[in-house]
Amino acid sequence: MNRIVRLETFHNEFVCFVRVTAEDGVFGWGQTSTYNADITAQVFHRQIVPWALGADSSNIGALIHLIERREHKYPGSYRARALAGLDTALWDMAGRRVGKPVASLIGGSPGPVRAYASSMKRDISPTHEAERLVRLCAEQGFTAAKWRIGAECGDDVDEWPGRTEEIIPLLSRALGDGIEKLVDANSGFSVPRAIAVGRVLEEHGISHFEEPVAYWDIEATRAVTAALDIDVTGGEQDWDMVTWKRIIDMRAVDIVQPDVMYMGGLSRTLEVAGLAAAAGVTCTPHAANLSLVTICTMHLMAAIPNAGKYLELSIEGDDYYPWQRDLFLGRPFEVVDGHVTVSDAPGWGVEISPNWLDRSIYTEAALETFKPSAYGALYHKGEKL
Ligand SMILES: [Mg+2]
């Protein structure tokens, strides 16, 4: 038993870091899911902190499970986003306590992980996208790259007329045979259009077709997967284990893509990876920005037996996402010969930038002084926390 005695958050609108401290003085850093992080921080303090303060820090999965049950009337994205902050901080703490990287705690080892260059842009012409992906592959040694087709939840209306038809052959030719090619439709197509586009992708040697149709329509996704030879992939939005069991049982996709932060942390993502492994399904997680989500995913990829061929690594820097600036000390996402490196330092192996923390909004909850909100007091029915 090593009780949690302090939970601190440092947030702005985009990022919320969590620091958890146990009664032996060991601490760990985690992060809630990015975007609307100010709202997530509020959910964290209202609905996660009352259950976590005073709880045993050493059985992470059990604590996450308990909080899900205690807050069962609030299933969904924000609960999972906030839980991710607690879970990832506790994993960092567990690693720091024994002097090992998280990858080693979950059966893997630190070292290089192959990455693919992942474009986040649709507002980019096919010519410009070809130019920058070819350049990045040459400069940083990427051997796989992903670009965007269709429009996000676009109902078959393209980003602009003809973009999908133009970018597929153009990028395929520009990247050539030595580079593995991936595309992401972000739920952009109907089933017939997705199957038609999928045949074009197959003709041009693309190997990964992500979120071809509305992701929430699992039957539609399965229809596309069944019709095509290309690997159909998805699951980045999903966090509910019942949904995950359905997706995997019915082979709705060829490759599952849980997001560590949308899932509610590493513990729940490991559950999905385990379900997939038992069914012989590959797991290539979603990690779409250069915050802690990609660090956590690097450790996960270095450990699970059914890890896909490559880590998703966003190529969009601080110019496109200014909120990513100055989050960490050092260069945790440095690419050498198309690989990033899982650090052998304890925990996640990264340090949050003190400058960033100084500029953030700080909230602290300590076991000895904590007072639940009116909601919390009512919900706990006067029970001493
Ligand atoms: Mg995606």
Q: What would the pLDDT profile of 87-108 be if each residue is shown by its tens digit? A: 999 999 999 999 999 999 999 9
Q: How far is the CA of 284 from the centre of ligand 1 (A)?
A: 11
* Spacing, Cα 184 to ligand 1 middle (Å): 6
Determine the average pLDDT of the residues in 379-385: 51
Of 214, 227, 223, 137, the C-alpha closest to 182 is 137
Question: What pTM, to 2 d.p., does this model score?
Answer: 0.96
Domain ranges in the chain? 4-98+353-379, 103-342
352 Cα to the center of ligand 1, angstroms? 26
Question: Taking all residues of the chain, what is their mean pLDDT, rounded to a whole number?
Answer: 96
Strands (DSSP E) contained in the chain are 4-11, 16-22, 27-31, 111-118, 144-148, 180-184, 208-210, 231-234, 255-256, 282-283, 311-314, 339-342, 361-366
Q: Distance between CA atoms of 291 and 304, rounded to whole angstroms?
A: 21
Distance (angstroms) between ligand 1 centre and the Cα of 228 equals 19
Higher pLDDT, 358 or 385: 358
153, 188 contact by CB (below 8 A): yes
Q: Are strands 361-366 and 4-11 parallel, antiparallel or unpaired?
A: antiparallel
pLDDT value at position 172? 98
* Distance in Å, CA 207 to ligand 1 centroid: 15
Residue 264 has pLDDT above 60, yes or no: yes
CA–centroid distance, residue 286 to ligand 1 (Å): 7
Ligand 1 centroid to residue 76 C-alpha, Å: 19
Q: What's the CA-to-centroid distance between 59 and ligand 1, angstroms?
A: 31
148 C-alpha to ligand 1 centroid (Å): 9
Distance 210 CA to ligand 1 centre (A): 6
How much distance in Å is there from the Cα of 91 to the middle of ligand 1?
26
Buried b (16+ CB within 10 A) or exposed e, 256-291: bbbbbbbbbbbbbbbbbbebbbeeebbbbbbbbbbb
Query: 58: CA distance to ligand 1 center in Å?
Result: 33
Which residue type sits at 20?
A: V
Q: How far is the CA of 356 from the centre of ligand 1 (A)?
A: 28
Q: What angle do CA 80, 219, 64 make, to 5 degrees?
A: 15
Residues 31 and 291: their CA atoms lie apart, in Å, by 8
pLDDT value at residue 29:
98
pLDDT at 378: 65
When pLDDT is cut at 50, 70 and 90, the band that residue 48 belongs to is: very high
CA of residue 327 to ligand 1 center, whole Å: 23
Contact status, residue 234 vs residue 253, Cβ threshold 8 Å: yes
pLDDT of amino acid 385: 41
Does domain 4-98+353-379 correspond to CATH entry 3.30.70.260?
A: no
Other residues' Cβ atoms within 10 Å of the Cβ of residue 178: 7
103-342: CATH topology is TIM Barrel (3.20.20)
Q: How far is the CA of 290 from the centre of ligand 1 (A)?
A: 15
Task: Read off the pLDDT band of 384 (50, 70, 90).
Answer: very low
Q: What is the Å distance from ligand 1's center to 144 Cα?
A: 15
